[in-house]
Amino acid sequence: MIINIPYWSKVVKNILYVALLVVGLYLALKLSIFYMPFLVAFIISLIIEPLIKCIMRKTNLTRRTSSIIIFIIVTIIIVGILSWIIITLFSESSSLLQGLNDYVDKASIQIRGFIEQFHFDKIKLSSEILTIVQESSGDFLQTVSNWLKNALNSLINVVTKIPEIAICVGITILALYFICVDKIYILDQIEYHLPKVWVKRLTNHLKDLIQTLGGYLKAEATLILVSFVISLVGLYVLFFLKFNVPYPLLMALFIGFVDALPILGSGTVMVPWAIISGLNGDLSLGIAIITLFIIMSIVRQFLEPKLVSKNIGVHPIFTLIAMYTGFKITGIIGLLLGPIVLIIIKNIFANLIDKGVFKTIFDRR
């Protein structure tokens, strides 16, 4: 048997190339988590860069002066919002944690009442099956309760770590200052210390990545922020009007989180909430929640075509697989990270994907 050495050398080379890129992507993700304050500062710098350039154009100020002005404004806004969020989250999380058992008991009673009212005799279900249904519903509620307790305890533990949060926020603010003020110097240093071939390839990849992933994230972040602000304002209005909305900030954050997930949306939370409220006799709250959801949907549908193109070249089934994979690896946060990593992988392996991954690796031509 004659072994085609040139062919198998090419195959091994392609496999090693893909393996190195995957390892590099994994290390990049690990480093991005480790150096999160600097990554956050970099992302914020990209967001406020147009404002810096706008001030430079309209006032003829130097980049340093323009950067300092925008930096001061952004820092005041960030510190103010963070302080309010930490205080409110701690208060609402502690209150919800204390009353969680009561909510679970009420939900259990309602489910039992629904089972008793439903005419199961018409579909001829045995008493054993009814018992299993009741026990399963109780186990489900207990599982949800335990998950909520763990989530709230984790949230309270994070909020109570004020020194660590202060250090991370301080480092992020300092990093943001240096990135904004000395951007040109930093870029020159990176270009000076890296080989020209690396700089060229890195620049091309970063440009493509910023155009695809950066544009997508910026647009989605804008839409999510709009949904969060509308839900927050709407829920606080309902709260002050004495509707049964005891935890407006927590609910707004939860709605914003679900709205951030591809395929799903804010309706996944708000429509069931409105239906349950109506079934429980609080019809006015159900109507108010549905009205708020309609307002959010109209605003989102108006802004979405202007901000983001839905055609990012990734089929929903692959997005769903990425969400599930992220969830299994890193938990709830993986639902957000999975699609983002998918877009990064698609960008890095664009040539392989366009030509066919296995066809490119094992093609005999």
pLDDT for the residue numbered 327: 80
Residue 7 lies in a domain: no
In a domain, 82, yes or no: yes
Closest by CA to 349, choosing from 361, 334, 363, 335, is 361
Q: Is 68 part of a structural domain of the chain?
A: yes
Helical H segments across the chain, by residue range? 5-34, 36-59, 63-117, 127-160, 162-181, 183-193, 196-209, 215-240, 248-260, 267-279, 283-307, 316-330, 334-348, 350-355, 357-362
Identify the pLDDT of residue 131: 65
Task: Say how far apart CA 110 and CA 113 lie, in whole Å.
Answer: 5
Establish if 339 belongs to a structural domain: no
pLDDT value of residue 213: 67
Q: What pLDDT shows up at residue 214?
A: 66
> One-letter amino acid identity for 115?
I
User: How far is the C-alpha of 66 from the C-alpha of 77, rounded, in Å?
Assistant: 17
pLDDT value at residue 311: 47
Residue 210: both structure tokens together? 């910023």
Distance between CA atoms of residues 123 and 202, nearest Å: 65
Looking at residue 122, the DSSP 8-state letter turns out to be G
Residue 306: predicted pLDDT? 62
272: tokens are: 């069931």
pLDDT at 338: 79
| Cα Rg, the chain, nearest whole Å | 26
CB 306 within 8 A of CB 175: no
**39 falls within a domain:** yes
pLDDT for 260 equals 74
C-beta of residue 228 within 8 angstroms of C-beta of residue 256: yes
Total domains present in the chain = 1
Q: How many residues does the chain have?
A: 365
The answer to whether residue 323 is domain-embedded is: no
User: Of 67, 10, 358, 277, whose CA–CA distance to 186 is shortest?
Assistant: 67
Q: How far apart are CA 359 and CA 341, in angstroms?
A: 23
Measure CA of the first residue to CA of the last residue in the chain; give whole Å.
20
Spatial separation of the C-alpha atoms in residues 212 and 350, rounded to whole Å = 12
Q: Exposed e or buried b for every residue in 217-256, given b needs 16+ CB within 10 A?
A: bbbbebbbebbbebbbebbeebbeeebebebbbbbbbebb
d(CA 332, CA 326): 8
300 alpha-carbon distance from chain centroid: 17
Tokens of 358: 């296995």
Name the residue range of residue 162's domain.
35-193
The tens-digit pLDDT sequence of the chain (365 residues) is 456 667 677 777 777 877 887 787 778 778 878 888 888 888 888 788 888 888 888 888 888 888 888 889 988 988 888 888 878 877 777 777 776 666 666 666 666 666 555 555 555 555 666 666 566 666 666 676 677 667 667 666 766 677 777 888 889 889 988 888 887 777 777 777 777 776 676 776 666 666 666 666 777 777 788 888 888 899 999 888 888 888 888 888 888 878 877 667 788 888 888 887 887 778 888 899 999 989 888 887 777 666 655 445 566 777 778 878 888 877 777 777 777 777 777 777 666 666 666 666 666 55
